[in-house]
Amino acid sequence: MGYAVTGIDPSLGAVMAAKRVARQLELPIEYVVGDARYLPFKENSFDVVFSYSVPQHLSRENVGKVLSEISRVLRPGGHCVIQMANRQGIRSLYHQMRRCFRQARDFEVRYWSITDLRDTFGKAIGKTSVFVDCFFGLGLQRSDIPLMPASKRLLIRFSEQLKRMSRKLTFLVNAADSVFVASWKPAL
């Protein structure tokens, strides 16, 4: 592979399950039980940090702690890619409406505006851009099409088409439900 991969989760059970899967797939991945707010790694340890569907469940204060930790463990010139929920996404608006637009509690999804994502990540890490993960939900992926009923397959295909269009029509990122936030730590 050419990469040294490290996974982290606060759940011992999840880490044990991940280790079993990695072993079965013969992948040399190191797993650590830990909290993203207090990463158990030295400064400048990683070139890349990736997270999918984690910080969107945390309070803004805790997201700030996570981003500070990511900045600390990223090497100069390194970058992170973090999936987050967009407040203006169609499905996101529906879910916010169902909970009467109240503040999220416990591990519920927190929805961010694209501007807030750019500003928050930019201040914590560095140059930041936001691009589409998917429309009409959080985590609808093309690779899931064979597993889905016909109605969901159509949504995923439409989401993929909109995602391709968003590369040229960048305003479409504002309507995506799930986005990736990519930030680069300045090189020395």
Burial (CB count <10 Å: 0-12, 13-18, 19+), residue 63: buried
Give the pair of three-digit tokens for residue 184. Answer: 């680069």
Average pLDDT over residues 57-62: 96
Give the pair of three-digit tokens for residue 120. Answer: 């928050």
Q: For the chain, what are the domain ranges?
A: 1-34, 44-184
Distances (CA, A) of 120 to 49, 74, 117, 187: 17, 17, 5, 19
Give pLDDT tens digits for 69-123: 999 999 999 999 999 999 999 999 999 899 999 999 998 999 999 999 999 999 9
Write down the CATH superfamily of domain 44-184. Answer: Vaccinia Virus protein VP39 (3.40.50.150)
Average pLDDT over residues 8-27: 97
Distances (CA, A) of 29 to 19, 48, 49: 8, 15, 14
Predicted confidence at residue 138, as pLDDT, reads: 84
- The Cα–Cα gap between 141 and 152 comes to 10
**pLDDT bracket for residue 30 (50, 70, 90):** very high
**pLDDT bracket for residue 19 (50, 70, 90):** very high
Average pLDDT over residues 1-16: 92
CB 173 within 8 A of CB 118: no
Predicted confidence at residue 1, as pLDDT, reads: 55
Predicted confidence at residue 2, as pLDDT, reads: 78
Percentage with pLDDT > 70 across the chain: 99
If you search the block for the tokens 């968003």, which residue do you land on? Answer: 166
Predicted confidence at residue 176, as pLDDT, reads: 97
Mean per-residue pLDDT over the chain, rounded: 95
- The Cα–Cα gap between 118 and 112 comes to 10
Neighbouring C-alpha atoms within 13 Å toward the C-beta of 108: 13
Look up residue 1 and give its amino acid: M
Residue 9 has pLDDT above 70, yes or no: yes
**0.85 surpassed by pTM:** yes
Predicted confidence at residue 151, as pLDDT, reads: 86
- The Cα–Cα gap between 188 and 76 comes to 6
